[in-house]
Structure 1
Amino acid sequence: MRETTEAIVGAVTGPAASPRGLLLGRYDDQGRLQYVGRTTTVARATGNTIGSHLTPGEPGHPWTGWTFSAGWGTQSALEVHLVQPDVVMEVAIDVALDSAGRWRHPARAHRVRTDTGVDQVPLFGE
C-alpha cells in the first residue's frame, strides 16, 4: 500500500544542482533530524527543479559524519552531499517500515512543497 506524505531533504546523491537521488528525514520529538529513507532515481528535469531549491549543508548539519549504505546488504558507503534541511518534498511511500522505523522501500519524489515548512512535516515515527 502506498500513500503520499512529506519529508525533508537532508542530503542528495549526484550533483546538488541536479540531484539523482534524495535522502529524506523527519524531525523526532527531541528536535533531531532522523533519516527516514531515500528516493528512487529522480528524472533529470525533476532533479533540476529540486536542485534550484537546495543550498549546501553548513557546518553543524545534523547528519555530519553519518554514512549511508549504498544498498541493501552491501558494505559500500553511498557518496552524498549534505544540503540545508529546509526543503520539503512530497513523496509517495510504501507504508512498510523497517525495525528502526524507516521506510522499507524507496520513496518516489513528486514535487517540492514550497507551501509547506519543515515544522509542518510529520514527526519521525508518525
Structure 2
Amino acid sequence: MGGHPWQGRMFSAGRGSQRALEVVLVEFEGVLEVAVDVARDSAGRWRHPVRPHRIRTDVDVSQVPLSGEDGTSV
C-alpha cells in the first residue's frame, strides 16, 4: 500500500472556520460503520458531525474501497 489516503488533506475546525486542525493520520485495522447526514457544503464535506455506529467484524478492511475508488467522494 502507498501512503495514507488522506495524506496532504487539511481539516478545519468547523463550517466557515479558517483554522486548520492538527491531525495524526493512522492506519485503522478494522471497519467502523458511521452515520452521516446527507447535507454537504460546497466542497463536499459533511455539514454535520459523523457519528460512529458500530464496528463491523463481518467486513475485512480489504473489502472497503478507499474514498473515491468506487466513484463516490468522502
What's the TM-score once normalised by structure 2's chain length?
0.62
- Structure 2 unaligned spans of 5+: 65-69
What are the ranges of 5 or more consecutive residues in structure 1 without an aligned counterpart?
1-57
Which residue of 1 is the match for residue 13 of structure 2?
A: 70
Which residue pairs with 2:46 in the alignment? 103
- The separation in 2 between residues aligned to 1:107 and 1:91, in whole angstroms, is 7
Work out which of the residue numbers 36, 53, 58 in structure 2 matches 1:93: 36
Deviation at 1:65, TM superposition (A): 2.3
Taking structure 1 as the reference length, what is the TM-score of the superposition?
Answer: 0.42
Of structures 1 and 2, the one with the larger relative CO (CA 8 A, separation 6+) is: 1
Cα deviation for residue 103 of structure 1 reads: 2.1
Q: Secondary structure at the match of 2:27?
A: strand
Please show how residues 43-82 of structure 1 align to structure 2 within 5 Å.
60-82=3-25
Q: Secondary structure at the match of 2:26?
A: strand
Higher strand share: 1
Q: Structure 2 CA distance, aligned partners of 1:106 and 1:116? A: 24
Structure 2 partner of 1:24: none
The residue aligned with 1:124 is 72
The count of corresponding residues between Structure 1 and Structure 2 is 68
For 1:97 and 1:120, the matched residues in 2 are separated by: 26
